[in-house]
Structure 1
Amino acid sequence: MTEEYSPKKIEKKWQDIWDNEEAFKTGIDKTKPKFYALVEFPYPSGQGLHVGHPRPYTALDIIARKRRLEGYNVLYPMGWDAFGLPTENYAIKNKIHPQIVTENNIKNFKNQLKSLGYSFDWNREINTTDPNYYKWTQWIFLKLFEKGLAYKAEMPINWCTSCQVGLANEEVVNGVCERCGSEVVHRVKSQWMLKITEYADRLIDDLDLVDFLDKIKTQQKNWIGRSEGAEIDFKLSGKDEILKVFTTRPDTLFGATYMVISPEHKLIDKYREEIENWDAVMEYREMAAKKSDFERMELAKDKTGVVLKGLNAINPATGKEIPIWISDYVLMSYGTGAIMAVPAHDTRDWEFAKKFNLPIIPVIEGGNVEEEAFTDYNSTLINSDFLNGLKVTEAKAKMTAWVEEKGIGKKTKNFKLRDWVFSRQRYWGEPIPLVHCEECGYVPVPENELPLLLPETDSYMPSDNGDSPLAKMTDWVETTCPKCGGHAHRETDTMPQWAGSSWYFLRYADPDNNQEFASKEALNYWLPVDWYNGGMEHTTLHLLYSRFWHKFLFDLGLVNEPEPYQKRTSHGMILGENNEKMSKSRGNVVNPDDIVREFGADTLRTYEMFIGAFELSAAWSNDGVKGCRRFLDRVWKLQDFLTEDEGYSKELEIKMHQTIKKVTTDYEGLKFNTAIAAMMALINDFYKASRITRGEFKTLLILLNPAAPHMTEELFETLKFGGRLYQTTWPKWEEAKTIEAQVEIAIQVNGKLKATLAISREETQEAVKAQVMELEAVQTVISGKTIVKEIYVKEKIYNIVVK
């Protein structure tokens, strides 16, 4: 009998062999077809891996291992997105330098990943906190600054009341800080911005160039939020001042009965002396500042606002005065921070008008809010002077032409996407390599002085006014201007965590290059990334930012493709056994180390792929883990009835070719669960036959290897198939041999099933008829009756119609 399967004996053995032999080191043979597989590099938190991490890593590890066996030159790298607030908070609490915290966390993470047998090329490991890496993050920022795409501006930002830092809109989830869950308020602060809006059109249009899941493309498009319409000027009554609004529905201008501006709009302070209810306006502003953009834009919330007494606007279409209100449902970060309100045809405006008893004038026949027909472009205009009787599409074009002719507006596009708030008031991030000089303004640190290193400190707390901890380090802050030699101050804000992750995939191509962020030769060979898998939660954050940085580098001629990733897929979360998201507070977190100790890494890998459809969330099941361990035990015990035959047995030849085809295509289609199910079914056939040839076993091991690499390598060696499994060749199927020689057809009389019959696929209709007529079940029914006709659907149904 075969010795019992023991993961503890074999898994570390093979991990050491792969390390010593550099089994998965990226090849240098550029004549081979390349395959660049990428997974989102993790943030090395103190908690280490949870069982959600292995799902995407195992999936692309399967693809990478398979492609190597198919003759591809594979790049499958791993690194660490290691700057960030959690580490800084931990350092503050425990009085440990963030660098030490990061190093300890990375060591733990790396050991965990190695214990799972991933085929990462660890020679290309990167770390965003390594000065040799962030030197080039700083260098790219300076290029953005040189091209006018990095600028500083006073603006309302999302301020985390706990972390004491500004947050991008994307970092505010349901009105609270994504990281710590604390309240987020608005605060005006001077921030470094990146002009991502310059690339808004291309970020949408170039999605046609890539193979992303439709839901990912949709999220990108929705976040960017491109809309076409018109910018229209509303004159302030009695003043030489205009309010610009953007509207996608210029055809409804005659129905604009009031205006609403954001509480942060600069016009309010400009006309402070003329606003008669200033105290009420200020009180409302303070209240609005405590709300996040999410809360302000929430559709279901009660509408609030204050009229600006003493200020009115003129509707340019009607010439009538209309009131100006402030309300928190209008944001300065969208459009112009002012809207024309058409309450008859906009739900929010209608609710606001109803609450404050404002005029409601319908201008689209049958298209008011209550009839929910505002988007019906077949409707016609009413109460709109020269637009009356026109369809909506015609009216939009005519009104846009009219405002352009009058010089009070223009056709334009608007985007929900705002420029990227790039600076953070914290220590543990890349220093922004700029100095400020009273004479020269902001001046770049010379490139030959990069990287600009973080200064050593024992204090990481932000100041009371929200400045970065770096602001207190006067010896570091005080410097000379690189341009004029005069006195200058270093920028004390640091970059956000998104900076290092916006270009890391490029560095993997050439990670040890000290002369440039990566050589043109390496980039031209490896880019674009062939397959990138990550979480759906990052499709409006990292994915957008990294595409923007890549396009910028493309414009500089530094990369050869306009898009960084050719294919992007996403995976579903692994939930706790209670079907809830895993978290310490819920007590449902599963540590992969525990599973590896008890069942083995191959069991964990196999189970994570078998747990369900890859793109869907799935609940963890300890019973499911045990089931996958039993499956691997059965594979191991196939040795007990191994024959010396090198080919496939005649009985299982078709099943072998069918399984090769199924597993191969299912792996590529991310249908890992059905691929494993196909191998389970094949093993059942081996056990039924009580025999397996060497040829069959070898093929099975190769097919299973990407999912369970340790056990299959061990069996490959034990059974002396020659060499290493990771160096062998992926099996091929013959299409003709995937088709069963026999097929089972349904036998019907008057459309009712009476029997089934196994026939050769090559049988003629006459031969099939002869066999059908011999069936007792058929003869019993048709005896004494007249056959009207017979219908044969080849290889499916033989139907006899009698009366």
Structure 2
Amino acid sequence: MFPYPSGVLHMGHLRVYTISDVLARFQRMRGKRVIHPMGWDAFGLPAENAAIEGGVSAKKWTEKNIDSMKEQFSLMNVGFDWDREIRTCSPDYYVHTQRLFLKLYEHGLAYRKESQVNWDPVDETVLANEQVLDNGKSWRSGAVVERRTLPQWFFKITAYKKALLEDLDVLGPDWPDQVKSMQANWIGLSRGVKVKFPLTAGKTDLGGYTSLEVYTTRLDTLLGVQYLAISSIHPLALKSIETDKYLQKFLLIHGTDWNTRSKKGELIKGFRALNPLTNEEIPVYVANYVVDGTGTSAVMGVPGHDARDNEFWKKRGPQEVPAKVVVRQSRYDRKKNLRPEDGGVFEDLGTLNENCGRYEGMSSAHAQKVFLTELRRKGLGKAHVNSKLEDWLISRQRYWGTPIPMVHCESCGIVPVKEEDLPVVLPDIEKLSPKGGNPLVSMKEWVETPCPKCGGEARRETDTMDTFVDSSWYFMRYVDPHNKELPFSPEKANELLPVDAYIGGIEHAILHLLYARFISKFLRKIGMWPLGSDSENQGEPFKRLVTQGMVSADGASPRVSWEKMSKSKFNGTDPRECISRWGADATRAHLLFLGPVQAELRWDEDRIIGMHRWFDKLWRHTSMLAEKLADPGFPILPNLIARPVTTTSIPPEDHDLFSMLQETNRNSSFALSKTLALNTVVSNLIKLTNTLTSPPAETQPTLAMTYRVTNELLRMLAPIAPGFAEECWARLHTHVPSMAGTRVLETTWPWFVLQGERLGGTTTCSVHIDGRFRFKVTLERERLMRKLGEGEQYARDIIANKETAGKWLKEKEIEKVIVSSNGKVVSLLTRPVTRTPQ
């Protein structure tokens, strides 16, 4: 994922771009055509706020930061294709973002309407729902979000909700399950029931309301409803403040303090609801945890079976009325029974209890069917499929963003800018006012423009686009970055899309990644990416998603022991300091070695000394070997590296070293192409180096084999430490005429298994059955160490047919075979043979 140009890279940046660089170099060595581009997510509030604080132009501030970060990238030994560089703040780029907007408008997927919105009072702009944290604060400024009514632009992402949900299955195992689950939960398709609770109001005017409708997926708890809660701007709440001064005061103070975890609420005294099954009266509250616009903006409160409802009831309900439990665990459920009086809440399905009268004993599933039938008969309920996903709010009341290419005309209404008049160029403001808000509103010369339809006086739209619009399609621009007429040509899109590997943090799961999938599917539908309509990927933009973990470090005065490095917290460790002390390649190798790609890392520079010692050992070995190769009596053959190796072609003393080379290559190749366990690649190369430099005295390898293994080691090291590997390669071949002047990064990746280079040799393994050592067996090492279950199957076949194993496997089936990483132990897990009755 491309970075925001904050001006300074931190270790989190170095980690993600090291991962991408390693994979790009590896694939190039495999002979693939690789595009490894770089660009800048350059619009947005941080740049605007920084420009205000610094009294400079947002454009100049951004460009200065980009230049600084490009210089930092040059120190990291990352090989980007700078010919494909893009900047979202450049008119050459955002002209196509504006074209994309007009395409969405043309197809009815971009529209403007009055809406209750999330307002950030610090940044003075609107936030999408996805940008409001669970605690009700802005993801960017941390301010408590308010609710306001404003005219806003939306993209109709809900038109694609079914495809966005169903096509998660298309993504398969190359997308993390956690990301797919997060998107599925955010889209939130669920099957439930809409229930109408009749209202009883006496003389209170309810503005025509006779019932209050809620949506629930737990109709079986209907008899446990003890209150209803509505949002602070529900029509019934706004009507009630006319006669309820306490509610009026509550809404004045807390009406915009929306928070899904809030326990704030106020009882509405003018009316009550009736349970549609029992006619029991139920109080109605205004509650800050109810989100307006989600579902029916009203929810039922079941303190006995929902933890949040229970907390709210304890805080706001009558103290003398306990939570009502109506569902108990089924008799076959072994989980601990939780009860409100014990401090827990039973939220699972179960069996209706004695508090349910004639319904006692029904399972939750059966009770839902019975209740729905009764509600239908009364006209108070119906089945409903609900979605939490709302249309994407894309307009922002700030300056530094892509102008929305629409014009407001008193005669014609809202009119799109003509294609030939694009781009609508954002004016450069030398000094932004610290008052906040959108300075475009007051720029008369820019705002006033002829109507594209009638030619009369009109005004430009002054809202700019959410920066997530810019980033929703940037990866597609990489395939054709210099095309002036189109965002990209369909031919190049067909040739190079979808993206083979996309690397970034999991925090983008329900923002950038969801929006990118939506835009990609839209472009597929309108023919801009034609193969997307026929291919199996259903217009999905990314084949493989890699979510690297955060890099954390302890700051000067941290509130917790380790904090995520972040541009917004100003706590990022500058990689330049580490690189200046240890070198770029040692820093890269250390970052990879610290843990798996998906794991969060605790950055500790003190431990990098291990990488420094490894490099020093390999350099000394390479230098000493180069001197030995200078001996005229050593017969270096030009094809030594390519010569196939078998048990008969090399002497016995070379077997162990070459076997280890094969194992290292096999494991590293598998990690780089499949699992991305890059930490194991580094550790395996370190082990091979140690064996190469300190072989056992009884099996000293020949000089020819030492030379060959060193060659292959440097080729496998090249993607990880390209600069150091090149230096070692040049030193090694100083006296090898056929190799002098070559570059290791221009050689091919060693791939022994594909070339059929298999060295024989056996290993003696300890066989453990159900956790206990039983006997030893001799197996072919190469077959035993194969991946993808081949080694385990080979061991199973050999051991099961051994006479020695008979007494331990009698009347048993082998359920699982585990081969240790060094091939010295094979463990069998068994189960009794199941016999079919005669």
Q: Return the TM-score normalized by structure 1.
A: 0.82
Q: How does 1:159-308 map to 2 (within 5 A)?
A: 159-173=119-133, 174-210=135-171, 211-237=174-200, 240-241=208-209, 242-270=211-239, 272-273=241-242, 276-277=243-244, 279-291=245-257, 293=258, 296-298=259-261, 303-308=263-268
Query: Could you tell which deviates more after superposition, 380-389 or 165-174?
Result: 380-389
1:501 aligns with 2:471: yes
Work out the CA distance in 2 between the residues paired with 1:72 and 1:623.
37
Contact 1:459–1:469 under 8 Å retained in 2: no
Tell me by how many angstroms 1:177 deviates: 3.0
Tell me the SS of whatever aligns to 2:228: strand
Query: Could you tell which deviates more after superposition, 429-438 or 318-327?
Result: 318-327
Work out the CA distance in 2 between the residues paired with 1:789 and 1:670.
37
Question: Aligned AA for 2:541?
Answer: P
* Corresponding position of 1:609: 592
* Corresponding position of 1:733: 752
* Corresponding position of 1:481: 451
* Corresponding position of 1:393: 365
Q: How does 1:15-164 map to 2 (within 5 A)?
A: 40-46=1-7, 48-164=8-124
Tell me the SS of whatever aligns to 1:49: coil
Tell me by how many angstroms 1:463 deviates: 6.2
Aligned pair in 2 of structure 1 residues 52, 584: CA closer, same or farther (>3 Å)?
closer
User: Which of 580, 583, 605 in structure 2 is aligned with 1:600?
Assistant: 583
Tell me by how many angstroms 1:621 deviates: 2.4
* Corresponding position of 1:566: 543
Tell me the SS of whatever aligns to 2:28: helix
Tell me by how many angstroms 1:796 deviates: 6.2
Contact 1:350–1:369 under 8 Å retained in 2: no
Work out the CA distance in 2 between the residues paired with 1:747 and 1:309.
76
Contact 1:261–1:330 under 8 Å retained in 2: yes
Contact 1:575–1:618 under 8 Å retained in 2: yes
Aligned pair in 2 of structure 1 residues 216, 453: CA closer, same or farther (>3 Å)?
same
Work out the CA distance in 2 between the residues paired with 1:456 and 1:331.
39
Tell me by how many angstroms 1:760 deviates: 8.2
Tell me by how many angstroms 1:552 deviates: 2.0
User: Which of 605, 618, 621 in structure 1 is aligned with 2:601?
Assistant: 618
Tell me by how many angstroms 1:107 deviates: 0.8
1:328 aligns with 2:288: yes
Contact 2:306–2:347 under 8 Å retained in 1: no
Q: Deviations over 1:240-287 (max 9, x none)?
A: 4243211112333344343211111123334554xx31x211221133
Tell me the SS of whatever aligns to 2:94: helix
Work out the CA distance in 1 between the residues paired with 2:543 and 2:354.
49
Contact 2:305–2:347 under 8 Å retained in 1: no
Tell me by how many angstroms 1:350 deviates: 3.8
Work out the CA distance in 2 between the residues paired with 1:121 and 1:362.
63
Query: Could you tell which deviates more after superposition, 730-739 or 112-121?
Result: 730-739
Tell me by how many angstroms 1:147 deviates: 2.8
Tell me by how many angstroms 1:681 deviates: 1.3
Q: Deviations over 1:723-747 (max 9, x none)?
A: 4333321111248866772424569
Tell me by how many angstroms 1:330 deviates: 1.4
Question: Aligned AA for 1:415?
Answer: S
Q: How does 1:431-450 map to 2 (within 5 A)?
A: 431-450=403-422
Query: Could you tell which deviates more after superposition, 658-667 or 122-131?
Result: 658-667
Work out the CA distance in 1 between the residues paired with 2:577 and 2:691.
33
Work out the CA distance in 1 between the residues paired with 2:772 and 2:616.
45
1:663 aligns with 2:681: no
Work out the CA distance in 1 between the residues paired with 2:357 and 2:765.
72
Aligned pair in 2 of structure 1 residues 486, 233: CA closer, same or farther (>3 Å)?
farther
Tell me by how many angstroms 1:759 deviates: 6.9
1:701 aligns with 2:714: yes
1:528 aligns with 2:498: yes
Tell me by how many angstroms 1:42 deviates: 0.2
Work out the CA distance in 2 between the residues paired with 1:747 and 1:259.
64
Work out the CA distance in 2 between the residues paired with 1:236 and 1:752.
70
Contact 1:463–1:469 under 8 Å retained in 2: no
Tell me the SS of whatever aligns to 2:269: strand
Tell me by how many angstroms 1:587 deviates: 9.0
Q: How does 1:376-415 map to 2 (within 5 A)?
A: 376-380=348-352, 389-404=361-376, 406-415=378-387
Aligned pair in 2 of structure 1 residues 796, 494: CA closer, same or farther (>3 Å)?
closer
Q: Deviations over 1:304-325 (max 9, x none)?
A: 3222222333443334554322
Work out the CA distance in 2 between the residues paired with 1:704 and 1:676.
8
Work out the CA distance in 2 between the residues paired with 1:352 and 1:53.
42
1:724 aligns with 2:724: no
Tell me by how many angstroms 1:523 deviates: 1.0
User: Which of 389, 393, 399 in structure 2 is aligned with 1:421?
Assistant: 393
Work out the CA distance in 2 between the residues paired with 1:795 and 1:595.
40
Contact 1:68–1:74 under 8 Å retained in 2: yes
Contact 2:237–2:286 under 8 Å retained in 1: no
Work out the CA distance in 1 between the residues paired with 2:93 and 2:489.
14
Q: Deviations over 1:121-172 (max 9, x none)?
A: 1111111011111111111112222333223333333322222222223333
Work out the CA distance in 2 between the residues paired with 1:108 and 1:318.
70
Tell me by how many angstroms 1:661 deviates: 0.8
Aligned pair in 2 of structure 1 residues 382, 481: CA closer, same or farther (>3 Å)?
farther
Tell me the SS of whatever aligns to 1:158: strand
Tell me by how many angstroms 1:224 deviates: 2.6
Work out the CA distance in 2 between the residues paired with 1:316 and 1:588.
56
Question: Aligned AA for 1:214?
Answer: D
Contact 1:658–1:733 under 8 Å retained in 2: no
Work out the CA distance in 1 between the residues paired with 2:713 and 2:505.
31
Q: Return the TM-score normalized by structure 2.
A: 0.79
Q: Deviations over 1:552-588 (max 9, x none)?
A: 2222232214211111111112222664334699996
Aligned pair in 2 of structure 1 residues 546, 759: CA closer, same or farther (>3 Å)?
closer
Work out the CA distance in 1 between the residues paired with 2:602 and 2:613.
20
Contact 1:59–1:670 under 8 Å retained in 2: no
Work out the CA distance in 2 between the residues paired with 1:378 and 1:575.
43
Tell me the SS of whatever aligns to 1:418: coil
Contact 2:498–2:542 under 8 Å retained in 1: yes
Query: Could you tell which deviates more after superposition, 406-415 or 663-672?
Result: 406-415
Query: Could you tell which deviates more after superposition, 726-735 or 443-452?
Result: 726-735
Aligned pair in 2 of structure 1 residues 129, 376: CA closer, same or farther (>3 Å)?
closer
Q: Give the total of aligned pairs.
A: 719
**Aligned residues: CA RMSD:** 3.4
Unaligned 5+ segments in structure 1 are 1-39, 763-787, 799-803
Work out the CA distance in 2 between the residues paired with 1:674 and 1:74.
24
Work out the CA distance in 2 between the residues paired with 1:81 and 1:586.
19
* Corresponding position of 2:830: none
Tell me by how many angstroms 1:595 deviates: 2.3
Q: Deviations over 1:472-513 (max 9, x none)?
A: 111211222222333222111111121111111111111111
Work out the CA distance in 1 between the residues paired with 2:12 and 2:168.
28
1:675 aligns with 2:697: no
Tell me by how many angstroms 1:384 deviates: 6.0
* Corresponding position of 2:835: none
Work out the CA distance in 1 between the residues paired with 2:382 and 2:485.
48
Work out the CA distance in 2 between the residues paired with 1:381 and 1:403.
21
Query: Could you tell which deviates more after superposition, 735-744 or 718-727?
Result: 735-744
Work out the CA distance in 1 between the residues paired with 2:325 and 2:519.
46
Contact 2:29–2:749 under 8 Å retained in 1: yes
Contact 1:87–1:98 under 8 Å retained in 2: yes
